[in-house]
Amino acid sequence: MARSPWKRLGAADELRLEDGDRVAVLGGGPAGSLFAYFFRRLAELVELDVAVDLFEPRRFDRRGPGGCNHCGGVVSESLVQVLATEGVEIPPGVIQRGIDSYVLHMDVGDARIDPPGHEKRIAAVYRGSGPRLSAITDDVSFDRYLLELACAHGTRHEARLVAGVEWFDGRPRVRCADGLARDYDLVVVATGVNSHLLETIERLGVGFVAPQTVKTFITEFELGRERIERSLGASMHVFLLDLPRLEFGALIPKGDYVTVCLLGREIDDDLVRSFLGSPEVRSCFPGGVLPASCCHCMPRINLAPRGPAWADRLVMVGDSGVTRLYKDGIGAAYRTAKAAATTALLQGVSADSFSRFYGPCCRRIDRDNRIGRFLFACGHSAQHLRGARRALLRMTRREQATAGSAARLSGILWDLFTGSSSYGDILRRGFHPGFGLGLAWNFAVGAWRDPRPLATLPGRPLRA
């Protein structure tokens, strides 16, 4: 039987942070900045004087890939609510567009899914300062906003490139490319999986193994605010297309640009061309014509952890450790960053403490991802079965057109697309007899009758 990667590493002496200790955070994306923010906020509460240095050489006020952390840039509905509850409000200058609905596109037609209340609770943001060659604006990148939030609570930003981490006299030493070497009492790795630093840490021999990854594709098209308003509105557009190796494709409206995000296995130019050339995608652009792409990248994302995300005086947060499968990566960064910060301050910084108090958060996400894999496999099957696609379309449209209906499928699709609920919760709702019967009925009826359009997109009717 395979040993769980989350098994305890064995007993270690209890290591606790004390007044005057220092913490290094490597990486200034959401995971790193949120760790620093919550750590400092909690340290103030328990009156512990621990300095936090956050190493991030990237300038988030720079446009294009140089200032960007390469991500679709969607802050999920649940994270927006939780941050607001924490007293962290994402300011308007950071939000490129508030999203209030999803539109599902398939070859058999489109369906719009509106949540009850029609409230904008999903934020489309730029991780950097916008696409390459985009106009200079007063907008602030999401990552810069979080970094400034962390610094406002006493974190020191070190704009240096970290070349490696070494062990010296039982403590981690951070070595920078400019020659600086400094010892710390805890090192928090929040570099994501697109950094060489994870290999360096693997070589330390402390039991850390870098996560399994998969390549994604992200590109930006300039359309202008008015045309985006007319053609896409405040909706995210997701695609269930019969394309091999494609798990998920989405269009995300942001300011003057539309972000295209593709997730799947072995994404290559052929898959990208097939997706962008499909009539379903083209129909979302004015006149069915895609403008030239102005910025693109193929970052890797964490698919599954391959070992514990901690050791004595070392912890991985966000993508470097464990994240949610395909969805809500920023939400997972928040959850792991806060759990690691709370553990480090209140329980200790030994591998044993992280295993007992930070481990449950990682294990919960990892377990839920296994259910997510099953759900995405079901979705993948539906992609290849025209009858299933027609049933999904018919049932979703009927639910959306009927006020006060249980809207079971719409709720499941909404949570699956937005990442607002755990995959386990989505699966539980899928076992509801009403959902099964409804889907079976729509499958039977949809087999011989075409679904009729029941809703409209901003500016144009949904395709039948």
SS3 of residue 125 by DSSP: strand
**HSE-up of 44 (CA within 13 Å, CB side)?**
9
> Which of 109/329 has CB closer to other proteins?
329
SS3 of residue 256 by DSSP: coil
> Which of 22/327 has CB closer to other proteins?
327
Cβ at position 364, least distance to other proteins in Å: 7
Please say whether the beta carbons of 50 and 156 come within 8 A: no
Amino acid at 175: R
Cβ at position 116, least distance to other proteins in Å: 10
> Which of 255/348 has CB closer to other proteins?
255
Cβ at position 419, least distance to other proteins in Å: 12
> What are the two backbone dihedrals, phi and then psi, of residue 192, each rounded to the nearest 5 degrees?
80, -175
Cβ at position 62, least distance to other proteins in Å: 21
Please state, in angstroms and rounded to a whole number, the distance separating the CA atoms of residues 288 and 423. 35
Is the C-alpha dihedral spanning 80, 86, 87, 93 positive or negative? negative
Please say whether the beta carbons of 219 and 293 come within 8 A: yes
Cβ at position 78, least distance to other proteins in Å: 5
Kindly state the DSSP code that residue 239 receives in the 8-state scheme.
E
Please say whether the beta carbons of 74 and 124 come within 8 A: yes
> Which of 89/450 has CB closer to other proteins?
89
Which tokens sit at 66?
């140089």
Cβ at position 141, least distance to other proteins in Å: 14
> Which of 105/335 has CB closer to other proteins?
335
Alpha-helical runs (H) found in 183-293:
197-202, 225-231, 269-277, 279-282
Cα–Cα distances (Å) from 12 to 313, 351, 352, in that order, read: 11, 7, 6
> Which of 263/365 has CB closer to other proteins?
365
> Which of 421/442 has CB closer to other proteins?
421
Report the 10 Å Cβ neighbour count for 133: 10
Q: Which residues bind other proteins (CB under 8 A)?
A: 42, 77-78, 80-82, 84-87, 89-90, 92-93, 95-98, 117-123, 225, 229, 234, 255, 335, 338-339, 342, 361, 364, 420
Cβ at position 298, least distance to other proteins in Å: 28
Q: Tell me the angle at which helices 30-45 and 329-346 cross, rounded to the nearest 10 degrees.
A: 30
> Which of 364/386 has CB closer to other proteins?
364
> Which of 90/162 has CB closer to other proteins?
90
> What are the two backbone dihedrals, phi and then psi, of residue 329, each rounded to the nearest 5 degrees?
-60, -35
> Which of 193/362 has CB closer to other proteins?
362
Q: Which residue in the block uniquely carries the two structure tokens 């699956």?
A: 416
Report the 10 Å Cβ neighbour count for 299: 19
Cβ at position 72, least distance to other proteins in Å: 17
> What are the two backbone dihedrals, phi and then psi, of residue 454, each rounded to the nearest 5 degrees?
-125, 0
Cβ at position 101, least distance to other proteins in Å: 13
Cα–Cα distances (Å) from 49 to 148, 187, 260, 314, in that order, read: 20, 17, 44, 19
Cβ at position 38, least distance to other proteins in Å: 9
